[in-house]
Structure 1
Amino acid sequence: MRRRFVIEAVMVATYGQLMVPDRPVDYVIPYSTIMELYDMKNGPDQVMDDVEDDRHVKMKIGELIAFFEEPLNRKKIERALGVPWRESAPLLLGEHVTFTVVNALDNAHYGEYFDPIETEQLLTAMKFKLPLLSDQIELQDRIIEAEVPVQVYDIEDFDFAVEEGIAVDEMEISRDW
């Protein structure tokens, strides 16, 4: 069974282990996070603290941009962009990895706690009832603090999330305590 996760596009470029899972994985990516890749690749700001790591990640970002710009992939993405919340057809990358691009819309629902990209990720996770993968501890803490009804996994727990995960019905939490 293919596991699906909402993720920011840059995370896929940053964490190589996400590209070689043991089981089939579909990364659901809000389109705005793909657009963010261009700024990260060409911008003056470093993505990583270490110069060599930054150079490597920017190279991976370039490869990911090239993947999304391939004619067939670009066509699938463009079809999804015509309708809010539409998912693209799967973009195949290897035996175990596919991407689905979503034309997510920030409705400012969580504007106080989250920036527009984070909001789109959360709304995508909620709309499609999918867990969110993130490396940002602060974001994870804010999700819990704001009681956003989204399951979130730290990137460090990726193998667990793919292999076992936690079913949504197991997540029911009593609000009485």
Structure 2
Amino acid sequence: MRRRFVIEAVMVATYGQLLVPSRPVDYIIPYSTIMELYDMKEGPEPVMDDPDDDRHVKQKIGELIEFFAEPLNKKKIERALQVPWRESSPLLLNDNVSFIVIHAIDNAQYGETFDPIETEQILTAMKYQVPLLTDQLELQDRIIEAEVPVQVFDIEDFEYAVEVGTELDWETSRDL
């Protein structure tokens, strides 16, 4: 059984272990986070503090941009962008990893507590009832404080989430 997680595109480029999971995984990625990749790759702001790490991650971001721009993948994404909340057909990276791009729409439901990208991730996780995977501890804290009904995992707990996390009961596990 494939595991599904909502995630920002940059997290996939930043954390290589996400591309070699122990079980098959579908990453549900809001389209707006793919657009952020272009700004991160070309922007003056470093993605990582260490210059060598920053160069490496920006190279991986470039590779991910190229993957999404491949003709078949681009066509799948463009179809999804025609209707709000439509998901693309799976974009296969390898036998264990595929991406599903969502044309998420920020409806300002959580606008005071979360930025538009965070809101899209949260709404996507709620809509598809799948966990949100992030490395942002402050986002995790705000989700808990706002009592948002989504399951959230830290990237450090990725293997745990793949193995057992999505098998937990949706309502009880969001409080863990």
TM range (shorter): over 0.9
Report what 1:168 is aligned to. Answer: 170
How far apart are 1:167 and its partner, in Å?
A: 2.9
Which 4+ runs in 1 deviate beyond 4 A?
A: none
Using the size of structure 1 for normalisation, the TM-score is 0.96
Report what 2:14 is aligned to. Answer: 14
How far apart are 1:109 and its partner, in Å?
A: 0.5
Partner SS state of residue 57, structure 1? helix
Report what 1:66 is aligned to. Answer: 66
Distance of 1:81 and 1:157 partners within structure 2: 31
Gaps of 5+ in 1: none
Report what 1:136 is aligned to. Answer: 136
Report what 2:101 is aligned to. Answer: 101
Using the size of structure 2 for normalisation, the TM-score is 0.96
Matched, 1:88 2:88: yes
Report what 1:157 is aligned to. Answer: 157
Partner SS state of residue 94, structure 1? coil
AA matched with 2:26:
D
Distance of 1:172 and 1:36 partners within structure 2: 28
Verify the 8 A CA contact 2:152 2:174 in the aligned structure 1: no
* Cα-Cα RMSD: 1.0
Distance of 1:63 and 1:110 partners within structure 2: 32
